[in-house]
Each structure stands twice: as C-alpha cells, then as structure tokens.
Amino acid sequence: MTEQQKKFEIEVPGLLEGWKPVAYRSVRPGEHVWHAGGVEQSLCGSRASHLVVEKIKPKRIVLEDTGEFRRPAAGEYVLHSGCSFTKCNSPHAWGDTKCGIWREVKEEE
C-alpha cells in the first residue's frame, strides 16, 4: 500500500446490522449503497459518490456430537431443547442441567 492509499475504519450511525462500509465513490450497477437511512441496490450505477456497503457473510461452522452428556463449560455448544444450538457463555446459568455436548470441527480437521 502506498502512502496515498491509507485506510480508515469508520462507524456509520444507523447502518443496519449485517452490513459494512467498503468505499465512498461512484457506484457500479448491482452494488449496494447506504442511502436515505437504508440499504439500496443500485440497478444502473451512479456517477455521484455514495457510501458503498457489503453484506457481511455469516460465519459457517460445522458441529460434531461428542457423545458426552453433562453440564456445559464456557465456549462449548449444546443442543438446546432438541431444536437449536447454543454456545455456552455462562456455565453457572445451566445449573445442574445436563446437555448433549457438541464441538466445532475446524477446517483443517
């Protein structure tokens, strides 16, 4: 990066959750822009400068059943009520509840 190509991180008050600012410049067709308090997709582009934003891609993880059934520790995943996964942040909140423990499978595994 040359000295003239400096990057600055900014916060955009009111920018919707799940979007990040990437540039302030003219807009290409199909890009999303922050405009009038919302995110809009530009159909034909614009020579005028706008705040170009991108959708933040959700993190994809793979979970594997460990076969353990116990009180979860901080950072472990549990199958909650048999229908959704929860990451345990506060082990004391689970009391003596025993749950099926799942672990995250890392990409290199």
Identify the pLDDT of residue 2. 55
Comparison of pLDDT for 33 and 4, the residue scoring more: 33
- pLDDT 10s digits, 61-100: 899 999 999 999 988 999 876 778 888 888 888 888 888 8
**DSSP reduced 3-state for 94:** helix
- pLDDT 10s digits, 10-21: 777 778 788 988
Does pTM top 0.75 for this prediction? no
> Of 26, 28, 101, whose CA–CA distance to 69 is shortest?
101
How is the chain split into domains, by residue range? Answer: 19-55, 62-105
Identify the pLDDT of residue 91. 84
- Reported in sequence order, the residue ranges of the chain that DSSP labels E, i.e. its strands, are 19-27, 32-35, 38-41, 46-55, 62-70, 77-80, 84-87, 99-105
- Kindly report the number of other CB atoms within 10 A of residue 31's CB atom: 19
